[in-house]
Amino acid sequence: MSDSAPLPPENLLRRTSSPYLLQHADNPVHWRPWGPEALAEAEAAGKPILLSVGYAACHWCHVMAHESFEDPDTAALMNALFVNIKVDREERPDIDALYMSALHLLGEQGGWPLTMFLTPKGEPFWGGTYFPPEPRYGRPSFRQVLQGIAAAHRAEDGKVMQNVGALRGALARMAAAAPGPLPDTATLGKVAFGLVRATDATEGGLAGAPKFPNPPVFRFLWQMRFRLGQPACAEAVDLLLRRMSQGGIYDHLGGGYARYSVDAIWLVPHFEKMLYDNAQILELLALAHAARPDPLYAQRAEETVGWLQREMLAAEDGDAFASSLDADSEGEEGKFYVWTAAEVDALLGQDSPLFSETYDVDAAGNWEGHTILNRRQRPEMLGEADEAALARHRAKLFAARARRVPPGRDDKVLADWNGLTIAALARAAAVFGRPDWLDAARRAFDTVAARMAAPDGRLMHALRHGQISAAGLLEDHAAMARAALALFEAAGEDSHLRHALKWAEAVERHFAAPDGGHFTSAADAGDVLVRGRTAGDNATPSGNGMMAEVQARLFHLTGDDRWRRAAEATIGAFAGSGNALAGMPGLLAASDLLTEAASVVVAGPPGDPAAEALVRAVLTHPDPALALLRAPDPAALPPGHPAAGKGTVEGAPAAYVCRGGVCSLPVTDPAALITALARPARTA
């Protein structure tokens, strides 16, 4: 706790850099940013803490702000009864995850805004999400909640502390290891087939509504198509991508996918666009296109990267990418994106019928009297002339839309989300033949590596306009190390491998748990009640899943057995989780990478056309469980690598496919190399 002077009775968020916190800087609430000073104030005052967690693109966060946090009477009640702390969940995902877990333990459904009540020491004892200003939706009013919680804290201290003890113990148990052996083929098959059964066979994605892309799930299924030899795993990914890419969740004018659809048919999106979703979907598009080239996938990839480069570069902070675009503009959700038939007719004139029939535009609209553009009813690609005409029509509507008031943009740079984007761009650059995308990935990488570096070799988490606002987490180091390896394999530059090694070693120093796996927060994080440890994936892959992938890939690239042992320890810390393994697809994919990957060594001089053809055969292969190492000089291969000492064949570049420590004979023909990369048959 801090010994500094008491914080002033005013809203302190104007001193922060987070766009979400700055959205609340003019509230009459005496908000404090999360940190030791705010916690010390609560202890000194003996007041409970009202913790409110949200993010800039969150619609219901805006609603609760307008209804309650901007209301002087509600704010006065909050100021009198609580120390009020506001958290940007993207800036402090460790704090968000901790208290969201506490809410789940209370039997409540999670979501944002997250509203938690804590003791002056930061211990949770009750919470919820959105509370209305008046009793409705079967929920008490926010003011009723404030008064009831404050009274309970004053008068029922024993009950409050009973809740505190139970929650704290449960949170600690959630962070405990569940050791077990590495998952075998039967275990992977059980999880994969269970996930395939949980998908919607008509609309794609997981069954039901709302519908989220769930990229970690489908990335795992894609990899299992090669491990298990089961086309159904890949078919689930293809169906997801095709339905989303022609649905309303996709922005048919500007590119990019919204966070989720509120229905079961991908029609009505929650209009916010997140960097992490688009990064992971781009990678899925590249993998699917590598297996079976598809003009739809190529078009969606190009449009999505176009959106990233046009609207998501955080120019104030170099060439890295911003976090999100808001769902709302002018106080209305989706207003920027929707159309009326009259607007379309006025813009397109006699060309309107083709566009309207293709994109579901009519007078009645398909959402609240307006139209969300989509191609659900006409998903097939039309003839070349019609598609060219539609492209011109989209350009007209896009230009008209650009004159509207745009949604807000959260332009903070997050290391982990940028890592996901860099890795996706590197893969997509190879598959779609776009070296300019690889250049964009390099520039973003260089920005994060230079501007978000800590003196001790660690990364920081959040950057905005030159100001660092949050310390680095496990996910930052794992995602950026994964990105570094993607660039190393794509371009063969040793500096990227050195970065990956540096960050992987920093993880072992600062985040490793003594009994395996890694904590989300570093050992010196002084404002975290319980250091979380999980391999469960959410909308983004878990830090432990990504770290296991990095360790496995480092083992295959360097031959250094310490990385095999490290990967086994990370995976093994969670492998005894039983049915909960289904929620850890990233960890399971990393286990497959560790035990089954092919390490491919291409021997030949840099820039040699024959060597580059072999490299392209690997980089454009649809199986993600491949590791590529260029070897211009056989003597430069790591001594522990199974291909050490192998080189060209009579001066001709050659590839060696190594599995289980044994390498193939040299392969000089790209087509033969593709055949050699096929996995041995496995049965679940």
Tokens 């804290």 correspond to: 153
pTM, whole model, 2 decimals?
A: 0.95
For 397-450, the pLDDT digits (tens) are 999 999 999 999 999 999 999 999 999 999 999 999 999 999 999 999 999 999
Does the pLDDT value for residue 331 go beyond 60? yes
Radius of gyration of the chain, Cα coordinates, nearest whole angstrom: 26
pLDDT at 637 over 90: no
Average confidence (pLDDT) over 378-405: 96
In angstroms, how far is the first alpha carbon of the chain from the final one?
53
What sections of 432-528 are H helices per DSSP? 435-451, 474-491, 494-510
Alpha-helical segments (H) within 204-294: 215-228, 231-246, 275-291
- 25: pLDDT strictly greater than 90: yes
Q: Check whether 151 has a pLDDT greater than 50.
A: yes
How many Cβ atoms are within 10 Å of 682's Cβ, its own excluded? 14
Tell me the average pLDDT across 381-395: 96
Of 242, 275, 243, residue with least CA distance to 410 = 275
Mean pLDDT of the residues in the chain: 95
For range 279-297, the mean pLDDT = 98
User: Is the pLDDT assigned to residue 188 strictly greater than 80?
Assistant: yes
Task: Bin 660: left if φ > 0, else alpha if -120 < ψ < 50, else beta.
Answer: left
For residue 652, list its beta bridge partners: 649
Of 124-133, 159-168, 270-279, least confident by mean pLDDT is 159-168
Give the whole-angstrom CA distance, residue 580 versus residue 325.
Answer: 33
pLDDT at 7: 82
Percent of the chain with pLDDT over 70: 98
Q: What is the dihedral angle through the alpha carbons of 529, 533, 534, 538, rounded to the nearest 10 degrees?
A: 50
Model confidence pLDDT, tens digit, residues 53-94: 999 988 899 999 999 999 999 999 999 999 999 999 999 999
Please give the torsion angle defined by the CA atoms of residues 182, 187, 189 and 193, in that order, rounded to the nearest 10 degrees.
-130
pLDDT greater than 60 at residue 4: no
Average pLDDT over residues 187-195: 98
Tokens of 76: 């006065």
pLDDT value for 218: 98
**Contact criterion met (CB below 8 Å) for 414 and 18:** no
DSSP state of 13: G
Residue 2 has pLDDT above 50, yes or no: no
Give the model's pLDDT for residue 122.
Answer: 95
Q: What is the pLDDT of residue 638?
A: 83
Phi, psi (rounded to 5 degrees) for 439: -65, -40
Q: What number is the average pLDDT over the span 132-140?
A: 85
CA nearest to 503, candidates 535, 534, 480, 531: 480
Predicted pLDDT at 682: 67
Dig out the tokens for 681 from the structure.
């048959």
Lowest mean pLDDT, pick from 108-122, 155-169, 565-579: 155-169
pLDDT band at residue 536, thresholds of 50, 70 and 90? very high
Q: Under 8 Å CB-to-CB from 608, ≥6 apart: which residues? A: 653
DSSP-assigned beta bridge partners for residue 662: 659
- How confident is the model over 577-590, as pLDDT tens digits? 999 999 999 999 99
Residues 6+ apart with CB under 8 A from 112: 53, 54, 55, 58, 60, 61, 89, 129
What does the alpha-carbon distance between residue 656 and residue 598 come to, in Å, rounded to a whole number? 10
**pLDDT tens profile 28-54:** 999 999 999 999 999 999 999 999 999
Could you tell me the pLDDT band of residue 635, with boundaries at 50, 70 and 90?
A: confident
What single DSSP character describes residue 175?
T
Helix (H, G, I), strand (E, B) or coil at 79: helix
Say what the pLDDT of residue 633 is: 84
Q: Evaluate if residue 269 carries a pLDDT over 90.
A: yes
